[in-house]
């Protein structure tokens, strides 16, 4: 019976080892829309992305595309999220299907973290090089230390061609040209294989001995010291010494082969230039705001005051990347993602031109399935049920003004 239990334990251990190994080697294909799992208040009250442009919708392997636009760092940043004092402009994609060839904020190259200011608007651009064929959802994204990744709008982009043809040549500071896609790949395989093999030998040595049940019995009987023999200690010492020798010799060999090295650059870039937005002449006061659950619509009562010298009309409400627009005032020509664009989702009780010096209280409704599809309606279940977004007003000449709004949101279930 003891021998049978020992064999069963060994087989169980081997099966577990095979399962873990298979799980490590199996990498399923990621899809898209992971932003839905991010809290609605995070998407509404942190980074507002607008004027976005994906330069291409189909890109051959080795070709490049750019994502450009602007983002506003919301003034009413949530207290529960760390401020963007250490941030990194990134792109949300399912794995290395693109490589980031360069990124810029305010015209400045930003290969490292940056410090952003609340209430400021920044212009950005990211250059991407296509690597792996397929249909991929490509998002804007800002990583904030202590706040995590803040996902922006995403658009489907198709990469064509063959991954085997992808190259990523660079010239080092010493003048050597290497392809980062295949550079030292054989060496990588060798070291992975070596340490994996050493690990298997270590486990094989102990697996041949009595496993779980006999060892448990010995421990309970107060004979734990008898489980480790003198030979076991010598083998363990041999493994330890061998590991140290391999690491020391490989380190010495590497230093000899590559005498010139530089550390990874991890400094913080400050003083990033923001956009000088034109002075606003429109004042908006939110009187109240409700979200009607059955109709998937948010209704706002707002008082608009025009202090400018030209008549204005409300053309768009942008929140969490979803754009609710009045087609009679504003038309999208940028190829914005269809699932985030409600071209006729904005209705205003009276959207006739508001003359200079006048004020008007209107009912504004932003309705679209995106409230539920993108789980923005979950906001009404938050302890701090507030919404935020951008309003875009247009004057007679087509000039645009951006106004930020932030107010409590009351749910309505009837």
Pairing of strands 134-144, 87-92: antiparallel
| pLDDT range class, residue 277, cuts 50, 70, 90 | confident
Question: What residue ranges do the domains of the chain occupy?
Answer: 34-173, 182-257, 282-412
Domain 34-173 has CATH 2.60.120.570: yes
Measure the CA–CA gap between 105 and 273, rounded to whole angstroms.
8
Look up the pTM and report it.
0.82
Q: Give the pairing type, strands 322-325 and 341-342.
A: parallel
Name the residue with tokens 């002449």. 281
Lowest-confidence region among 48-62, 200-214, 247-261:
200-214
Tokens encoding 281? 């002449």
The pLDDT of residue 279: 86
pLDDT above 80: residue 4: no
* SS3 assignment, position 234: helix
Query: Which CATH fold would you assign to the domain 282-412?
Result: Immunoglobulin-like (2.60.40)
Burial 262-287 (b: 16+ CB within 10 A, else e): eeeeeeeeeebebeeeeeebbebebe
For range 375-392, the mean pLDDT: 88
Encoded tokens for 318: 């942008």
Instruction: Judge contact between 67 and 128, C-beta under 8 A.
Output: yes
Indicate left, alpha or beta for 175 from its phi (over 0: left) and psi (-120 to 50: alpha): left
Structurally, at CATH architecture level, domain 182-257 sits in Orthogonal Bundle (1.10)
Contact 87, 145 (CB under 8 A): yes
* Distance between CA atoms of residues 139 and 253, nearest Å: 42
* Residues 203-235: tens digit of each pLDDT: 998 887 777 777 788 788 887 777 778 888 999
What region does 134 belong to: left with phi over 0, alpha with psi -120 to 50, or beta? left
Can you give the C-alpha Rg of the chain in angstroms?
Answer: 29
Contact 132, 163 (CB under 8 A): yes
Mean pLDDT, all residues of the chain? 89
Which of 159, 118, 141, 144 has its CA nearest to residue 69? 141
């Amino acid at each position: 019976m003891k021998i049978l239990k020992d064999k069963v334990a060994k087989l169980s251990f081997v099966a577990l080892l095979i399962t873990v190994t298979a799980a490590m080697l199996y990498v399923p294909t990621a899809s898209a829309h992971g932003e839905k799992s991010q809290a609605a208040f995070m998407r509404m009250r942190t980074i507002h992305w607008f004027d976005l442009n994906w330069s291409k919708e189909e890109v051959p392997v080795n070709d490049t595309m750019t994502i450009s636009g602007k983002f506003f760092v919301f003034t009413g940043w949530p207290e529960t999220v760390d401020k963007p004092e250490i941030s990194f402009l990134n792109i949300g994609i399912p794995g290395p299907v693109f490589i980031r060839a360069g990124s810029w904020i305010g015209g400045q190259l930003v290969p490292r973290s940056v410090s952003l200011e609340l209430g400021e608007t920044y212009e950005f651009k990211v250059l991407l090089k296509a690597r792996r064929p397929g249909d991929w959802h490509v998002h804007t994204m800002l990583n904030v230390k202590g706040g995590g990744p803040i996902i922006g709008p995403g658009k489907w982009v198709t990469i064509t061609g063959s991954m085997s043809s992808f190259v990523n040549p660079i010239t080092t500071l010493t003048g050597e040209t290497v392809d980062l896609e295949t550079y030292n790949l054989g060496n990588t395989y060798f070291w992975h294989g070596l340490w994996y093999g050493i690990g298997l030998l270590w486990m094989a040595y102990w697996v041949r001995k009595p496993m779980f049940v006999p060892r448990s019995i010995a421990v309970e009987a107060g004979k734990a010291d008898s489980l480790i023999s003198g030979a076991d200690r010598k083998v363990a010492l041999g493994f330890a010494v061998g590991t140290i020798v391999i690491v020391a010799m490989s380190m010495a060999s590497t230093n000899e082969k590559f005498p010139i090295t530089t550390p990874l650059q991890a400094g913080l870039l400050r003083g990033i230039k923001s956009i000088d937005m034109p002075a606003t002449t429109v004042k908006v006061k939110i009187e109240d705001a409700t979200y009607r659950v059955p109709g998937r619509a948010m209704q706002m009562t707002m008082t608009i005051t025009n202090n400018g010298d030209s008549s204005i009309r409300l053309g768009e409400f942008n929140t969490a990347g979803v754009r609710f627009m009045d087609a009679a005032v504003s038309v999208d020509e940028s190829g914005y993602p269809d699932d985030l664009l409600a071209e006729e989702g904005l209705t205003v009780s009276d959207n006739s031109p508001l003359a200079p010096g006048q004020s008007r209280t209107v009912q504004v409704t932003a309705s679209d399935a995106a409230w539920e599809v993108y789980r923005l309606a979950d906001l009404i279940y938050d302890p701090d049920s507030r919404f935020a977004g951008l309003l875009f007003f247009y004057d007679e000449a087509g000039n645009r003004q951006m106004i930020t709004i932030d107010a409590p949101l009351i749910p309505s279930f009837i």
